[in-house]
Each structure stands twice: as C-alpha cells, then as structure tokens.
Structure 1
Amino acid sequence: MRRVHRVLVTAATALAVVAVPSAAQASPAKADRGGLQKGLDDIVANGAVGAVMEVGGNGGGVWRGTSGVAELGTSREMPAHGRFRAGSITKTFVATVVLQLVDKGPLRLDDTVEKWLPGVVPGGDRITVRQLLNHTSGVPDYRGTLPMPPTPEFEADRFRTWSATELIRRAVAQPPTPDAPGTKYAYSNTGYLLLGEIIRKVTGRSYAVEIERRIIEPLRLHGTSLPGTSSRIRGPHPHGYIPVRQGDETRLVDFTEMNPSLMGAGGEMISTTGDLNRFMAELVGGRLLPRHLLDEMKTPGVEGKRYGLGLRRQDTPCGVRVYGNDGDALAYQAWSFATEDRRRQVTIALTPDFRGDPDDAVEALLDKAICG
C-alpha cells in the first residue's frame, strides 16, 4: 500500500528512540562500504527505528548493512536477512503475472474491466487492464474511506479481515473522478485489487497462488510469501510501529502483527532484501517477460510521470536508469531497484519512527549504491 499519509510527530510530541548500533556484512567489488553504511545510518537518524540494505550485481558480490535496532527498548540489531512487509512492491509481482497472462492469452491489455468483472465498477466498460496497471483508470482509492494512523480507530481494526469485494465497493461508492480514463495519473490501490480479481477470473486461481507458482517458486524466493489473513511474520524480522494519538499525545504502537488483507493485492507481500534484489534483476533482465511486454511495463502511462505497468523508473545523478518500485506497509517501508544490465541491484527496508521523513536520505543512498 503506497502513498499512505505519513504522520510526522512534532518536537512537542517527539518519540524517544534507543541508541542505534550498526553492522555491515560482506562487500561487493568497488563498493564504498563506508559510504553505504553512513547512508544507512543517516536513514535511521532521519526517522527510522531500524534499516537494512542489500546491494548486489553481476560479478560484484553482495554487500549487506544494517543500522538501528530490530525492536524498541532493546539493543537487538536489525536482522540482515530478516523479513519485512514489502507494501506496494507487491504490485510489481501482480503486474508481472498479469503481463504473463497477456503473453499467453486470453487476457489483453486493452480488455475492459467490464469484460472480466461485469457490474463491479461503474463505467468499467471504459476502463482497461492497462489503465489499472499504470494508475490512470480513475478508480478511487479505497484508503480514502478508512481511518488511518494516527487515529485510534485504525489500531482497533488491526486484526479485521477485509475482502477485496468489500474494499472495492467502498472505493466505487465514492464520487467518480472527473478525468477520462487513461488521461491522468492518480495512484489507486483499488486498481490492483481489481487486477487480483481479474487474475482469479482468468486462471481460476487467486493472485497469491499465481505469484507463488509463476515467480516465487521458479526464482526460489524462499523468504517471500503472501500471508493472506495471517497476522504474523515468520522467521527473523524487525518489529514495525505506527503512531497512535491518545489525547494530546502521540505514541508508537507495535504493529508488527496485523491482518494484511487490508492491503491485499496492492501490498500484502512479505519478503527480504535478497529476494527482492533477485526478483528485480530477473524481471528487468528479461527472464520473466518477453521483451515487448517488458518494454510496455517500463513505459510510463502519462508523459512526465515515472510509473509504467507496475514498474517505476528512476534516473540517477550518474545517468544510469534503474527500474523497480517502493512500498509503504504502514509500519514498514521498502525500496527495490535494478539496472537493466543486471550490474547492480539495491533494496532498502526500514521501520519508520515518524520523527521525520527519511525519503531524502533513502534516495541519496539509492543513488550512491547505483553510482558508487
């Protein structure tokens, strides 16, 4: 689930964070290990309980670093191979499955929502699969109908099971966008819930099963899973937190365990830095899709934007273009990008503490990891 409004706690309600140890493991050739570790430490200093990073590439080895702590109130280091909620990076997996179905048929990018999900979306006969993928469908985002942090109501629903049907109905009950489908970029988690339902209609199986059999198993992504309604993160993992308002104060609440059906096909995935690096390298490198569909995936839906069909492009200061995605799963945030030539992949994950916004520090570190 991306673009969830981040709540920045002011100095008057600043949240105490314990001292942050840091650790680094292994080293790729030509990597500025000290610079990468400093960048990771800067992320924690700018608004994270803990952060983990993996940089890899063809012939360059692997560098893994951690900073901060895995759990507030402890000195336990972030697990370098730990699992975390990957948020909207799930969308890139969903989009890959959709494009594989386009490659083999019977699905087409220009098929309408109405064809596959009749009566589900008002005006669905004018909205295409392509537009769902690149966020130009105009379908409202269901998140606008739900309480979000720091409201106490959000915490109260943490273990509630949400169905895609229920969330889609909440979304389409909102006033429709005035823009014609395909003309304006507007990020919508609802669009990917619809794509998950289309995958089920085309294959007879859930998007989670299709991701498992088409991507997770072939690539041996052993730390990656789609938990459905299971609230736990299996294996080593950092704790994640959300801010919750109580009277005039805001405190961090451990939100590690929660029912991920709230995010569904738009963001339920759990993964690791190593698995995401492997996935992005194989995807951008052409193993998972034929070239013409990969080109479609990398092409932004609206001129001047960076989001294609579930894949985001980013240009670094050194002129190297990378592709990937980022994800906000409330108590966890992640970024994963790879170069087209597979020479470098980088994934960063953190648990925000909401003292500040770590985005600038993350972007600087991504650039350093790619450019050296």
Structure 2
Amino acid sequence: MRTSLRGTKNIVRRVGAAALAAALLTGLTVPTASAASARPDLQRTMQEFVDAGFGGMQVRVRDERGEWTGSAGSRELGGTAKPPTNGHFRVGSTTKNFTATLVLQLVAEGRIGLDTPVAGFLPQFGLDSRITVRMLLQHTSGLFNHTGQYNPDGTVTPGIPWAGKEWVDLRFHTYRPEELVRLAVSKSPVFEPGARWDYSNTNYVVARLLVEKLTGRPFAEELDRRILRPLKLRDTLSPGAWPGMPQPYAHAYYQYDDGGQRKTIDVTHQNPSWISSAGDMISTTKDLQTYFSALQSGKLLPAWLMTEMRKTHPGSASLYGFYGLGQFSQDLGPGCGIVLNHNGSNNGYGALMYSTPDGSKTLTGSITAGDPENDPVPSYPAALDKLVKKVFCGK
C-alpha cells in the first residue's frame, strides 16, 4: 500500500491484475440526485477505466449540480449486470484517514500530544524513543514497512506475504496487530525518526495500538463510538479478521502465477488482518462521501488540528499530491485549486476519496479487477487525472 508513483503502480496491479445526510453534515443545501442525474461526461470518463482493463467501477459525485451516482463494467467477471452504486468494497489505505482522525481526536482531548513520543505508551515493542504521534501519522518514523520495504535501489525487503500464490494460500490467515509491529521492529529502521518521509503501513498499526492503549477499548469499538455512529455510517466497518463482505457488492478478483500457470480467483472474501488499521476497512461511496465531507468541513476535528493535518511533508510527492497527517493535498492547478484525498486498495478492490477543503464538493468511488489479459496500469494515472479534473475543475 505504498503510494509513491512507483507504489501507485503496485496498488493498481493489485486491483487491475489481481445527499440529505451529507447536506446536514456540511450545512449545505444540495439538490436531489435526480436533479443531477444526467452526467454523460462522468459516465464516459468512468467507462474509460473499464475500457482500460478494470472490471467494474462505481462513482459518486457531489457538486454544485447536485449528487450523481453511476457505475460501469460488470458486477462479476462474465456477467452483464453493472456494479451496484450502493455496493460495499474494501477501501484499503483509505482506512488510514479514519485512523488518523481517530488519533487526532485523542490529541484534541489532551490524551496525548501530537509531538509526544509513543514508546512510553507501548513499551512492549522497544520503539525508538524519538518516534512521535506526528511521525506515525505522516510516515516519518523510519519504521520498517511490515508488508515489505521498498529500497532506494529498487529492491524490496520482504515482510509478510500480501501478493502472489503465497498470499492466496494465506488469504484467510489471521494476524494480530502486535505480531505485525514485532515483525517491523525486528528489522533495522529505514532511517532515523524524522529524517525523511517513507510510506509504511506499520505506522498505522502502531497508531491502532496507541488508540487502544489510550482509550482502553478495542479499535473497532472506538471507531464506531467516535466516528461511525455519530455520522450514521451504517455501511462502514473495521472488520478485524472477519473475511466476509456485506451485501450488495461487486466481486473482487486476483490474478497470480501458480507454477507457471496464470490463475484468476474470486477474493471478495479474504481476511484483511494482514493490513490491520492501515487498510482493512469496508465502506460504500455514500459513507465515504459523508465521512470525508464531515472531516474537511470541520465536524470531526478542531480547526487547529485540521491545520496540522493539512501540513504536508516536502519529500512525500506522489500521484496524489503531498502527504500530511493521514491524507494527501493535491494542487490541481489554475481554476481547480486544492483537493484533499486518500485513495487505497486491498487485493481485488480500489477506492477513491476526494474533497475540497470546505467539504462541499466530493468524489468517491470503487474499482474492481477485470480482464486478466488487459493490464490497466499504464492507463490508470491519466484516467484518474481526467476523472478528478472533470469533477473539481469542470474540465
């Protein structure tokens, strides 16, 4: 779940190979969905993802024209039914934004400081005493990435299996968060805390354990209590080791090599505990829209922490912009402005989550795998850029 441009290609390969509630939350008057139903430009742009090789896609947009939903492609390989526009999907690293918000709520309450070292709260792991809350959320801790560390020379130091036949064989295996952190700290740090930026899923597993330590409650329970229930996000959950998927949904597929033979399997049901609170959540486009709009419009965090969340690291440039605390900030250029986002993937699924800084305009979506003979990776960055600019630039 690395999100540099190189990592984006890895994310896409895992996917491609392998307005009433919102209006109340933002204080805006939003036209009904029917008032914005005719959006052939968005439908065509979405279809380009399918034409590039993805199996299916669903998109939800809210802007000055109202709220629009649409889907393209198929719900399952070989089928003709389109993906449901209210379908559930695994959001992958989009989970990190929820985790960061939860941690920052505890900062707002004075439970811990943003620049407080975390080692004393989790002494069992022997963390470097210089690693702070901010470093975890901004990926500047230097902790080894438990899903595999990308090295400057292009090589990868393996972590737990998350790809290939090894992952397929272990896709229902349960990992405990503590196990993932212990694996990471058994490896040499990538750099000294604060020295530079490098995307590491381990940071957000440590953040999960920090939430549990500070609140005395399981992470999923605290997430439900603080974010999901207040926003009425009834279709969003942190599943832990549960491999299921609530109905309705579009199927997820994964392609891999097995003894020289290329195989495709349905991985809709899988145990996401290998990624934990760095990427295990399930949601819908509607819930992601409600949540991200509420966050950006100041409903979940005080203004001073929203400011901190949006401070980006200069060394974090990627396809999605620059990284702050649990989200990217992307400048789309003249006439478009800044959008905040955190996309993600989990084997078979991809997720999109974008918003303007005031929460008034949003784009959320899901992508699923498609034709194993048609690799969508080369087309993905251009297709994504076109879709985002259609929504936020009117181009």
Q: TM-score, normalised by structure 1?
A: 0.90
- Does 1:173 find its partner at 2:190? no
In the alignment, which of 280, 301, 314 is matched to residue 289 of structure 1? 301
1:27 offset after TM fit, Å? Answer: 5.4
* Residue of structure 2 equivalent to 1:162: 175
1:301 offset after TM fit, Å? Answer: 3.1
In the alignment, which of 364, 379, 385 is matched to residue 347 of structure 1? 364
CA contact (8 A) 1:83 1:233 kept: yes
- Does 1:332 find its partner at 2:344? no
* Residue of structure 1 equivalent to 2:332: 316
* Residue of structure 2 equivalent to 1:40: 46
Q: What secondary structure is seen at the aligned counterpart in 2 of 1:174?
A: coil
Q: What secondary structure is seen at the aligned counterpart in 1 of 2:92?
A: coil
Distance 1:311 1:36, change over 3 A: same
**Residue 309 of structure 2 aligns to which amino acid in structure 1?**
M
* Residue of structure 2 equivalent to 1:142: 146
1:153 offset after TM fit, Å? Answer: 1.2
Q: What secondary structure is seen at the aligned counterpart in 1 of 2:263?
A: strand
- Does 1:370 find its partner at 2:383? no
* Residue of structure 2 equivalent to 1:79: 84
* Residue of structure 1 equivalent to 2:154: none
1:2 offset after TM fit, Å? Answer: 4.7
CA contact (8 A) 2:288 2:364 kept: yes
- How many Å separate the matches in 1 of 2:351 and 2:57? 9
Distance 1:261 1:303, change over 3 A: closer
CA contact (8 A) 2:2 2:11 kept: no
- How many Å separate the matches in 1 of 2:82 and 2:295? 31
- Does 1:280 find its partner at 2:280? no
**Residue 336 of structure 2 aligns to which amino acid in structure 1?**
G
**Residue 388 of structure 2 aligns to which amino acid in structure 1?**
L
Distance 1:93 1:6, change over 3 A: closer
* Residue of structure 2 equivalent to 1:127: 131
Ranges of 4+ aligned residues in structure 1 off by more than 6 Å: none
The aligned runs of 1:156-305 (5 Å cut-off) are 156-177=169-190, 179-302=191-314, 305=317
Output one character per residue of 1:129-182: Cα deviation in whole Å (capped at 9) or x when no partner: 100000010101000112333x211100011010011111111222222x3211
- How many Å separate the matches in 2 of 1:296 and 1:67? 38
In structure 1, runs of 5+ residues without a counterpart are 16-24
Output one character per residue of 1:256-295: Cα deviation in whole Å (capped at 9) or x when no partner: 0001111211011100001101111110000100000001
Q: What secondary structure is seen at the aligned counterpart in 1 of 2:193?
A: coil
**Residue 176 of structure 1 aligns to which amino acid in structure 2?**
P
Distance 1:346 1:171, change over 3 A: same
- How many Å separate the matches in 2 of 1:304 and 1:142? 19
CA contact (8 A) 2:292 2:359 kept: no
CA contact (8 A) 2:56 2:73 kept: yes
CA contact (8 A) 1:27 1:64 kept: no
In the alignment, which of 365, 368, 382 is matched to residue 360 of structure 1? 382
Segment of structure 1 superposing worse, 320-329 or 352-361: 352-361
Output one character per residue of 1:216-262: Cα deviation in whole Å (capped at 9) or x when no partner: 11111111111111111112001111111023332221110001111
Distance 1:8 1:291, change over 3 A: closer
- How many Å separate the matches in 1 of 2:176 and 2:363? 33
CA contact (8 A) 1:113 1:121 kept: no
In the alignment, which of 56, 59, 65 is matched to residue 62 of structure 2? 56
- How many Å separate the matches in 2 of 1:371 and 1:7? 24
Q: What secondary structure is seen at the aligned counterpart in 1 of 2:70?
A: strand
* Residue of structure 1 equivalent to 2:23: none
CA contact (8 A) 1:184 1:302 kept: no
- How many Å separate the matches in 2 of 1:230 and 1:148? 17
CA contact (8 A) 1:7 1:243 kept: no
- How many Å separate the matches in 2 of 1:113 and 1:56? 39
Give % identity. Answer: 37
Q: What secondary structure is seen at the aligned counterpart in 2 of 1:293?
A: helix
CA contact (8 A) 1:52 1:348 kept: yes
**When the two structures are aligned, how many residues end up with a matched partner?**
354
- How many Å separate the matches in 2 of 1:60 and 1:121? 53
1:195 offset after TM fit, Å? Answer: 0.3
1:32 offset after TM fit, Å? Answer: 7.5
Q: What secondary structure is seen at the aligned counterpart in 1 of 2:353?
A: strand
In structure 2, runs of 5+ residues without a counterpart are 18-31, 149-158
* Residue of structure 2 equivalent to 1:93: 98
- How many Å separate the matches in 2 of 1:321 and 1:284? 12
Q: RMSD across aligned C-alpha pairs, in angstroms?
A: 2.1
CA contact (8 A) 1:28 1:56 kept: no
CA contact (8 A) 2:11 2:345 kept: no
Distance 1:46 1:121, change over 3 A: farther
**Residue 152 of structure 1 aligns to which amino acid in structure 2?**
K
